[in-house]
Structure 1
Amino acid sequence: MFSGNVENLTFSKPSLNKPHVLFVTSNGAGMGHITRCMAIAHSGSKDFHASFVTLSSSAEVIGQQGFEYLHFASSGTTGQPARVWNNNFYQFFNELTRKNHFDAVVFDGTWIYRGLLDILVKKPDLKLVWLRRGLWKKSASIDQLPEMEAYCAQILTPWDIGDRLDEGALSQRKTQTQVRGIVLSNGALFSRESALEELRLAPDRNYALVQLGAGNINDISDIRQKVTTAIRVQSKGSVIPVIASSPLSNHEQSDENSISIRKYPISPYLRAFDFVVSAAGYNSIHEIIKWEVPSLVIPNLNASTDDQKTRADALCDDIKHFTALSDNEIDTSIGALLGWSGNRVQSTKQVAGYLKFIDNGNEAARAISETIRL
Structure 2
Amino acid sequence: MILVEAGRRDLRGLDAQLTFAAQLAARGHCVALDAAGLPGALDRGRTYEAAPFLVDSEDLSVEALFLLGAEDIEEAALAALRNRALADAVPVVAIGRFEDHQGYLGARARIAYALGREPRMFDLSESQPRPLVARAATPLVAELAPRPRPLGAVPVLTVALGAKALDKGDVLGCFAAMSHRAGVRLRIIANAKQKERVKASRHHDLPVVTFTDLSPVTLAARTDVFAVYGQGVPGERMAALSVCLLGAGGVVVDCTEDGAFLALGAPALRGPVDPAALEAYLTDTVLVNLGPIGAQLAASPWIAGADIARLEAAAGLASGSAAPARGRAARARGRTVFMPTNGVGLGHAQRCSVIADATETSERPVFAAFPSCVPMIRDRGFDCLPLVQKSGDHPQPYANDVLTYLRLGRLLGRADRLVFDGGYVFDSIFRTVLERGTRAIWIRRGLWPEGDASKEALDRERIFERVIVPSEAFPELNDVYSQTPRVRNVGPILRQREQTEEECAALRARVAAHLGQPFERLVVSMLGGGVASDRSAQLQAISGLLAGRTDTLHLVVVWPGALVDPALHAWPNTRVVQTYEALSLCLAADLVTSAAGYNSVHEVLYHAIPAILIPQSAPYLDDQTRRAEALASRGLAEMIEAGDLLRLSSVLTECLEGGGACRLRASLAGADLPAPGAAEAARLIAEVGEEN
Distance 1:139 1:364, change over 3 A: same
Kept in 2, the 8 Å contact 1:20–1:101? The answer is no
Kept in 1, the 8 Å contact 2:533–2:617? The answer is no
C-alpha separation in 2, matches of 1:19 and 1:203: 52
C-alpha separation in 1, matches of 2:356 and 2:629: 31
C-alpha separation in 2, matches of 1:290 and 1:77: 39
C-alpha displacement at 1:58, in angstroms? 3.2
3-state SS, counterpart of residue 570 of structure 2: coil
Provide Cα deviations, 1:21-56, integer angstroms capped at 9, x if missing partner. 000011211111000000001111456521000125
Equivalent residue in structure 1 for 2:604, among 272, 277, 288 = 288
Kept in 1, the 8 Å contact 2:608–2:669? The answer is no
Residue 209 of structure 1 corresponds to which residue in structure 2? 524
- Where is the helix percentage greater, Structure 1 or Structure 2? 2
C-alpha displacement at 1:220, in angstroms? 1.2
Residue 184 of structure 1 corresponds to which residue in structure 2? 495
Distance 1:341 1:321, change over 3 A: closer
Moved more, 189-198 or 292-301: 189-198
3-state SS, counterpart of residue 505 of structure 2: helix
C-alpha separation in 2, matches of 1:25 and 1:77: 21
Moved more, 337-346 or 273-282: 337-346
Residues 299-318 of structure 1: matches in 2 within 5 Å? 299-302=615-618, 304-317=620-633
C-alpha separation in 2, matches of 1:26 and 1:285: 20
C-alpha separation in 2, matches of 1:250 and 1:146: 32
Distance 1:146 1:32, change over 3 A: closer
3-state SS, counterpart of residue 164 of structure 1: helix
The amino acid across from 1:171 in the alignment is V
C-alpha displacement at 1:70, in angstroms? 1.2
Equivalent residue in structure 1 for 2:594, among 263, 278, 286 = 278
- The answer as to 2:464 corresponding to 1:152 is yes
Residue 645 of structure 2 corresponds to which residue in structure 1? 327
Kept in 1, the 8 Å contact 2:590–2:661? The answer is yes
Provide Cα deviations, 1:212-244, integer angstroms capped at 9, x if missing partner. 0111112211111112222345xx433221111
Kept in 1, the 8 Å contact 2:532–2:617? The answer is no
C-alpha separation in 2, matches of 1:88 and 1:204: 49
TM-score (norm 2): 0.47
C-alpha separation in 2, matches of 1:259 and 1:349: 28
For structure 1, the 5+ residue unaligned runs are 1-9
3-state SS, counterpart of residue 116 of structure 1: helix
C-alpha separation in 2, matches of 1:224 and 1:296: 13
The amino acid across from 2:626 in the alignment is T
Residue 582 of structure 2 corresponds to which residue in structure 1? 266
C-alpha separation in 1, matches of 2:473 and 2:375: 29
Residue 358 of structure 1 corresponds to which residue in structure 2? 676
C-alpha displacement at 1:313, in angstroms? 0.5
C-alpha separation in 2, matches of 1:41 and 1:179: 15
C-alpha separation in 2, matches of 1:349 and 1:272: 16
Provide Cα deviations, 1:246-298, integer angstroms capped at 9, x if missing partner. 22415587433311222212112323210100001111111101110111000
Equivalent residue in structure 2 for 1:243, among 556, 579, 595 = 556
Kept in 2, the 8 Å contact 1:135–1:171? The answer is no
C-alpha separation in 2, matches of 1:273 and 1:152: 41
C-alpha separation in 1, matches of 2:466 and 2:335: 17
- The answer as to 2:666 corresponding to 1:347 is yes
Distance 1:351 1:181, change over 3 A: farther
- Percent identity between the two aligned chains: 22
Root-mean-square deviation (CA), in Å? 2.9
Equivalent residue in structure 1 for 2:419, among 81, 87, 106 = 106
Provide Cα deviations, 1:336-363, integer angstroms capped at 9, x if missing partner. 2113378588531696212x3335x212
C-alpha separation in 2, matches of 1:172 and 1:334: 37
C-alpha separation in 1, matches of 2:366 and 2:535: 33
Kept in 1, the 8 Å contact 2:611–2:661? The answer is no
Would you say how many aligned residue pairs link Structure 1 and Structure 2? 351
C-alpha separation in 1, matches of 2:561 and 2:659: 31
3-state SS, counterpart of residue 357 of structure 1: coil
Residue 441 of structure 2 corresponds to which residue in structure 1? 129
Kept in 2, the 8 Å contact 1:18–1:49? The answer is no
Instruction: Select the structure of larger CA radius of gyration.
Output: 2
Moved more, 242-251 or 319-328: 242-251
C-alpha displacement at 1:78, in angstroms? 5.3
Residue 72 of structure 1 corresponds to which residue in structure 2? 387
